Structure 1
Amino acid sequence: MAAALRVDVWSDVICPWCYIGKRRLEAALRQTGYADRVDVRWHSFQLDPGHPAGKRQPVHDMLAGKYGVPPAQVRAMTRQVSELAAAEGLTYALDRAIAVNTLDAHRLNQLAAGHGLGGQLHERLLRAHLVDGEVLDDAPTLIRLAAEVGLDVDAVRRVLDGDGYAADVAADARAAHRLGATGVPFFVIDDRWRISGAQPVDAFVAALRAAHAAAGA
């Protein structure tokens, strides 16, 4: 059955709220019964494009420095988001997560999208960072994860060895800003309904049903 609706999603592969938002969108698609009629397209958005390439920092340390708060407050913040993730069936391990520059990961997402594997690689990278404690600027790790979802290893290496798809990553970010996104996750349904953040499932259900009704009209 041809897709009746299109959902564009801007997301970063190290964003804990993005994984929660992804699960809530998926729950809404199941609840509405639209899963086989929706074309979900994943777009790149770096939360911190200025993070120095090659710098690896424990997420707890990064957050403490970014917000100027003590470690105990950071632990409370990450515990809260981990509890919300658990309600969506996700087991976060943010105490092991490493903050990195995500440009290479997003460049591979662009490659994957061109082969119909954008959703699969985005899911794998989110899980790798947030659940498995993988380091997402490590070339061998990225190659292995990309191969797991079916990408050609030689093609992946060629992308990582050059600057392929960097312009596409930047174009995605510009598109998000034009649409009014100030952070991620950011969802646009049929170029009309916009959802900012990991909203409750009911918000996705309402937007999907409104879009479906408009498409039918």
Structure 2
Amino acid sequence: MAAIELDVYIDYLCPWAYRGAMWLEHVEGAGRIHPRWRMFSLSENHRRREGVDPTPVWEKQPTAKGLPAFRAAVAAHEQGEDAFNRFRIALQKARHAEGHQVDDPKTHRLAAERAGLDLTRWERDLQNADFLTLARDHTEAVRKGVFGVPTLVWPEGRSYYLKINDLIPADRAVALYDAIESIHRFAEVIEVKTPESEGTLAA
């Protein structure tokens, strides 16, 4: 069975995206999927929901929450897809498993070191990194109806936003993916909610 290519939208700020990424790492390791990691800015999403100035946050406030992390990831991507993925995982773990500040340059350098990047090249590329990739990914995400992270988008266009409140063990990761993919086959199902997510569960 060929691995399915999924677009997965993340923001390094988000713990849901971190747990989702750790889960999908196991699923990818089992040969089931090939994730293509895309950028979705929660800062921009929140700002647009407020209905304020339509100028994108990366043009108006390039140091807004999450944006420096995106730039650091863009610089890592200059060393190839594998280098980027190692950096992405290292940065997500540094933030959400160890409590480092996601937009701190020291955190970015730590992630680059752990990812085994050519640090001299990465620092040079960081100086030239821009928000073109973020702008493209975010615009495409909005077109697809993405509103949060992580959102998984299948090749035929259906997508799912997930909230995972704990890390999924490796021996259960594929089973969770299979369950979601099974629902995915039913076009009639457009939403699955729990009382916890809706906030209606009695105390």
TM-score range, shorter chain: 0.5 to 0.7
Question: Paired residue for 2:74?
Answer: 110
Question: Paired residue for 2:13?
Answer: 14
Q: Give me the whole-angstrom Cα distance separating, in 2, the residues matched to 1:143 and 1:167.
A: 22
Identity of aligned residues (%): 28
2:87 aligned to which of 121, 125, 135:
121
State the TM-score, normalizing by the size of structure 1.
Answer: 0.61
- The gaps in structure 1 that reach 5 residues or longer are 55-99, 213-217
Query: Is residue 117 of structure 2 the alignment partner of residue 154 of structure 1?
Result: no
Q: Give me the whole-angstrom Cα distance separating, in 2, the residues matched to 1:152 and 1:109.
A: 14
Q: Could you tell me whether the CA contact under 8 Å between 1:129 and 1:135 is conserved in 2? A: yes
Query: Is residue 170 of structure 2 the alignment partner of residue 197 of structure 1?
Result: no
Residue type of the alignment partner of 1:138: D
Q: Give me the whole-angstrom Cα distance separating, in 2, the residues matched to 1:154 and 1:173.
A: 29
Residue type of the alignment partner of 1:129: R
Deviates more, 1:129-138 or 1:198-207: 198-207
Q: Give me the whole-angstrom Cα distance separating, in 1, the residues matched to 2:181 and 2:121.
A: 36
State the TM-score, normalizing by the size of structure 2.
Answer: 0.65
Q: CA RMSD in A?
A: 3.1
- Residues 1:41 and 1:165: Cα distance change in structure 2 (over 3 Å): farther
- Residues 1:4 and 1:130: Cα distance change in structure 2 (over 3 Å): closer
Question: Paired residue for 2:38?
Answer: 43
- Residues 1:143 and 1:26: Cα distance change in structure 2 (over 3 Å): closer
Q: Could you tell me whether the CA contact under 8 Å between 1:107 and 1:159 is conserved in 2? A: no
Helix, strand or coil at the partner of 2:177: helix
- Residues 1:193 and 1:203: Cα distance change in structure 2 (over 3 Å): farther
- Residues 1:26 and 1:140: Cα distance change in structure 2 (over 3 Å): closer
Q: Could you tell me whether the CA contact under 8 Å between 1:11 and 1:185 is conserved in 2? A: yes
**1:21-170 mapped onto 2 (5 Å cutoff):** 21-26=20-25, 29=27, 35-49=30-44, 50=57, 101-114=65-78, 115-116=80-81, 117-162=83-128, 164-170=129-135
**What CA deviation, in whole Å up to 9, does each residue of 1:64-111 have, x standing for no partner?**
xxxxxxxxxxxxxxxxxxxxxxxxxxxxxxxxxxxx722221123234
CA shift, 1:26, in A, is: 4.3
Q: Give me the whole-angstrom Cα distance separating, in 1, the residues matched to 2:97 and 2:21.
A: 15
CA shift, 1:206, in A, is: 3.6
- Residues 1:110 and 1:208: Cα distance change in structure 2 (over 3 Å): farther
**What CA deviation, in whole Å up to 9, does each residue of 1:1-32 have, x standing for no partner?**
9x5310111111120111222234345x27xx
Q: Between Structure 1 and Structure 2, how many residues are aligned? A: 161
Residue type of the alignment partner of 2:153: V
1:174 aligned to which of 139, 142, 145:
139
